[in-house]
Amino acid sequence: MDTLTIGLDNGGGKKPDVYDYIENPGDKMLTEMLRELIDNVELCRSGIGSRRRALFLVGGSGTGKSTALKHHFRLMPEFQPRVNEYGEEVRPLLSLEAPKPCGTKDFAVAILDAIGVPSKARQTEAELYATVKTQFRERGIIYLHVDEAQHLRRHSSSQAILDVQDRIKSLMQIADWPLHMIFSGVPDLADLLKGGDGQVKNRSLIMRFVPLSLPNNRADVQRVLTDIVETRCGLVLPDELLTDDFLGRLCWANSGSFGEIVTAVQGACFLAMSKGKDTVDRRAFAFNYSRTSGCLPNDNIYTAARWSEIDPANSVADLWTPAKKGSK
């Protein structure tokens, strides 16, 4: 089943899709930062652009970085394919996932692979990057998005990080070509911004995708819950699930990760519907959590009395093999 469309009629004759994009708390800031990159492209073409040609999106797994980027890429026309004056299709955005491991030469090969240009094993790193720059110009690629970009941090040594920074800087300084870069990844990605006399940090915009928590993000967590349960799935949302206690459990069980919270609510709804119910309740969340976390019954965050003392990262800690003395 590729697509699942369920829910109530929204007044326009179209049922809302449970997989439609759900607004992320960071969307407004992300829109502004992407717009700043877009505007800077035109300024660079005029010779007055800022040297800040990179955007770093840093946040834990499941916080919604990649999903938010894909959504905004679809919305903003500057990232969409177009036909040039010669009738050729031009794709201004190249998006790829950094391989693991990913040294500076691996990075160049990955870019060429994503473009569809073969590389030769005997090519030097300098030759590969020269080809990359030529391909960007010839194909009209203005934006390069690298997901899982923490893989570029192959080694934590200062020299290894400096080597990556040098390559990033060189791509942002292609002669007569305003390439702008977007990096998304987990917090380790931030290592690419340190040292090197700020050669990358001083050329970048930086946005954090921080975990949600109560009471600060109560409205965001409740919005996700009501949007999916009531609007998209057409189910009844009992008052119990709108209490601070339950919203806190929902947030805590998913480590505050926006994407994981969305997935948990969707899963509870699917479970309720599969059983022919018109209401989603706490039991659906508790059942799914027990299966995905592997926790003991007393450690189920949705049912435990002292749930805030439970670390979801340790849900299967009782099964771990004890470390031997002297082992690292």
Tens digits of per-residue pLDDT, 230-284? 999 999 999 999 999 999 999 999 999 999 999 999 999 999 999 999 999 999 9
What CA–CA distance (Å, rounded) separates 193 from 281? 45
pLDDT of the residue at 6:
35
Beta strands in 132-239 (DSSP E): 143-147, 180-185, 204-209
Share of the chain above pLDDT 70, in %: 92
pLDDT digits (tens, 9 = 90+) for 27-72: 999 999 999 999 999 999 999 999 999 999 999 999 999 999 999 9
pLDDT of the residue at 8:
35
- pLDDT interval class at 4 (50, 70, 90): very low
pLDDT of the residue at 321:
86
DSSP class of residue 9 equals -
CA distances from 269 to 32, 84, 157, 221, 287 (A): 33, 46, 47, 16, 12
- pLDDT interval class at 13 (50, 70, 90): very low
pLDDT digits (tens, 9 = 90+) for 292-308: 999 999 999 999 999 99
pLDDT of the residue at 85:
85
Whether 37 contacts 53, CB under 8 Å: yes
Contacts of 207 (CB under 8 A, 6+ apart): 26, 29, 30, 33, 55, 56, 57, 58
pLDDT of the residue at 201:
94
Place of tokens 């010669």: 86
- pLDDT interval class at 19 (50, 70, 90): low
Superfamily of domain 27-209: P-loop containing nucleotide triphosphate hydrolases (3.40.50.300)
CA distances from 295 to 55, 108, 185, 233, 281 (A): 38, 43, 28, 28, 20
pLDDT over 80 at 5, yes or no: no
Strand partners, 206: 56
